[in-house]
Amino acid sequence: MNLLFIADPVEHFKIHKDTSFAMMREAQRRGHRLAVSEPRHMHWQRGGKVLARLRDITLTGHATHWFSAGEPREAALADFDAVLMRKDPPFDSEYFYATHLLEQAEREGARVFNKPRALRDHPEKLAILEFPQFIGPTLVTREAQDIRRFHAEHGDVILKPLDGMGGMGIFRVGPDGMNLGSIIETLNRDGSQSVMVQKFLPEIAAGDKRVLIIGGKPVPYCLARIPQGTEVRGNLAAGGLGVARALSERDRDIGEALGPLLHQRGLLLAGVDVIGDCITEINVTSPTCFQEIFDQTGCDVAALFVDALEAAVAQAIR
């Protein structure tokens, strides 16, 4: 297959842990050809197809100069067997516009994973609202008084913006309410931005678990991201310690309940974040943790993903 990865600049990849790199490595091992582009390099003009300025690449196997690239060229997204949208959040206006270009490319015959409409329909913080049976007490609001009322009811809460990633902008406010006002001002901006507030789950001490769902099925192992020191966030980007574990019965129940539905909607890969027994987010833009799980358990998550990708492309061609 000819595969096009639309992602952040490959020069910035940290290949010892990057999931997109793991996908590329497994795909090349199977003989698939690789090309890379960025959302800003896509364009469309009436009378033509969605094009991308891209580079064909080959992985070298070296730790530093890890890829070689051909000269930049333009090609239609529909000319590839599969287009993988792997741009990291934030899900801002430009990301939103990129999904519309990708959807136009689909109308022209491109096969895009994850499906652009599914990316738009599943904002990573708000997607959990569809599954109240799996989440803890949660509030989404633009009203400061609602946040104060929720805090008064639950005492110990987490506040976060709806467009953050890697633990950015997450605050914990305990029963004393210290700094609640300034945190509301920072996140809410006088009612101009919505905020998610959730009851603090003490099970975070055992880790914020990333449960990966590939092709509608949960991967047998998750990565528990454990906060370190006085930090409340388990995110690896915030210094959390990643420990791979077999799925608990509850983790598996969540994965098996959500997996078929997400897959049906065009999400070949999703990362469900679970603290204790509760879902906190559903990541669909560029879920990670492939390499950490493989390194610690031997479960080849990248191989499972490429298996699912090959099957999805074969089914689409039929």
Catalytic residue ranges: 125, 160, 210, 225, 233, 273, 281, 283
Locate the DSSP E strands across 171-229: 171-173, 195-199, 208-214, 217-218, 221-226
Kind and range of the H or E element at 45? none
Backbone angles phi, psi at 18, to 5 degrees: -75, 130
Q: What is the DSSP string of 99-111?
A: HHHHHHHHHTT--
Q: Is 17 exposed, middle or buried (0-12, 13-18, 19+ CB in 10 A)?
A: middle
Backbone angles phi, psi at 38, to 5 degrees: -125, 155
Residues sharing a CB contact under 8 Å with residue 114, sequence separation 6 or more, in sequence order? 85, 266, 267, 268, 269, 270, 284, 285
Using alpha carbons, select from 77, 69, 59, 68 the residue that is nearest to residue 22. 59
Using alpha carbons, select from 101, 287, 272, 90 the residue that is nearest to residue 193. 90
